[in-house]
Amino acid sequence: MARVEIRKLQKYYGDFHALRDLNVAMEDGEFVVLVGPSGCGKSTLLRMIAGLEDVSNGEIHIDGRVINNIESKDRDIAMVFQNYALYPHMTVYDNMAFSMKLRRAPGDTIRKEVEAAAAILGLCDYLERYPRQLSGGQRQRVAMGRAIVRKPKVFLFDEPLSNLDAKLRVKMRSEIKSLHRRLGNTMIYVTHDQVEAMTMADRIVVMQGGIIEQVGSPLELYDRPANLFVAGFIGSPAMNFLEGRMTETGFVMRDGTHITLPAGFARAAGDVLLGIRPESLVLYEPGDPAAISASIVSVEPTGAESHATLILGGEEVTAVFRERLPDTPGAPLSLKLSVAGTHLFDKETGARLSGSGH
């Protein structure tokens, strides 16, 4: 068990400032996902925690102890890589037993630990196979098994599911979650996939350009994004952003279209961006106070929902309706906004000013 704390962490690659003053704590037993677009620095942070990259400045603590200068192998950490890094000439058993053999553990202890990990991961029937004789998902499980037998304080995962097809990714996602529930270790997991982050994390660290944009539980980030970046990154389909300004009566888009904001919506002054989640555009019903006019560009039925591209005040927006809509380009629609999922952002700073979730 371990608490990992990052304090004022900086990373330079030559002149390039890859990580800029990161501060975050991962609590004992937490499943923390580092997420952000390609190049934001999430793998660099993970590799620094693992001891595979030097720290330029700042500190990494595990259970209160600074580990900056402790060698990777002595950090009590196990890392599962994207490419699994299995030894091709070794059986599954030998791959999983390797680290214990290096530590000269007794043979019967090794067998016990490997068999216990194999049982957790459903690998008991595959112990004598070689990696090339396994499916992608099975190889992924061997990589996790190899980490489990090391009994580390902290598990680190670097995009471990990106080589798997979509269906297997969903299955392995829930396997890793239940592994976490079972083992209770601190786990730090890197992905660029916000859906993976949302579905797996206790807490998510959203990164961009070497900084941390926000830390919070998946629903905190969804309901109360700190800024435009987080609002646009978390959620699929993504939040719509409309440019305009606030007036006494509501929000006015650049082309003059007036949008009545939902009752109870907090106000802000001046030039703002109105953020609207696709599911927060709902069909107007007779008797509702004010309608917003839009027209259909296209409708994609998923069965359970209709994903629609619409024109609203001259701008294209995405909406997700529970109702089934005809795919009739140009057809008019009357909409209203639901207060949940509607936010105002400062146009200059990108900070969220008000909205649902306050």
Shortest Cβ 16–ligand ATP spacing (Å): 5
Site string for ligand ATP, 268-307 (x = CB under 6 A): ----------------------------------------
Site for ligand ATP contains 18 (CB under 6 A): yes
DSSP string, 44-90: HHHHHHHTSS--SEEEEEETTEE-TTS-GGGS-EEEE-TT----TTS
Interface residue with ligand ATP among 4, 22, 42, 187 (CB under 6 A) is 42
Q: Under the criterion CB under 6 A, does residue 41 sit at the interface with ligand ATP?
A: yes
Residue 33 Cβ, how far from ligand ATP at the closest point, in Å?
13
Closest by CA position to 273, among listed 260, 258, 289, 254: 254
323 three-class SS: coil
Q: Which two tokens stand for residue 171?
A: 């299955």
**35 lies in the site for ligand ATP, by CB under 6 A:** no
**Binding of ligand ATP at residue 81 (CB under 6 A)?**
no
The encoded tokens of residue 66 equal 């600074």
Binding residue for ligand ATP, selected from 6, 9, 33, 40, defined by CB under 6 A: 40
Nearer to ligand ATP, 41 or 244 (CB): 41
Looking at beta carbons only, is 54 or 255 nearer to ligand ATP?
Answer: 54
* Cβ 23 to ligand ATP shortest distance, Å: 17
Compare residues 178 and 236 and give the one whose CB is closer to ligand ATP.
Answer: 236
Residue 345: HSE in the Cβ half-sphere, 13 Å Cα cutoff = 25
Q: Tell me if 43 contacts ligand ATP by CB under 6 A.
A: yes
Chosen residue from 1, 8, 12, 13 binding ligand ATP by CB under 6 A: 13
80 binds ligand ATP (CB under 6 A): no
How far is residue 210's CA from residue 233's CA, in Å, rounded to a whole number? Answer: 16
Question: Which residue, 19 or 308, has its beta carbon nearer to ligand ATP?
Answer: 19
CB 335 within 8 A of CB 282: yes
Q: Cβ-count burial of 107 within 10 angstroms (0-12 exposed, 13-18 middle, 19+ buried)? A: exposed
> Which residues inside 133-192 make contact with ligand ATP, applying CB under 6 A?
192
Backbone CA torsion sign across 51, 55, 61, 66: positive
Query: Residue 280 is which amino acid?
Result: S
Q: How far is the CB of 32 from ligand ATP (least distance, A)?
A: 15
15 binds ligand ATP (CB under 6 A): no
| DSSP-based helix, strand, coil % in the chain, nearest 5 | 25, 35, 40
What would the two tokens of residue 102 be? 């290096």
From 38-46, 129-137, 267-275, 287-295, give the range in contact with ligand ATP by CB under 6 A.
38-46
Which residue lies nearer to ligand ATP by CB, 8 or 103? 8
Closest C-alpha to 183, from 137, 158, 152, 138: 152
Chain positions contacting ligand ATP, by CB under 6 A: 13, 16, 18, 36, 38-44, 192
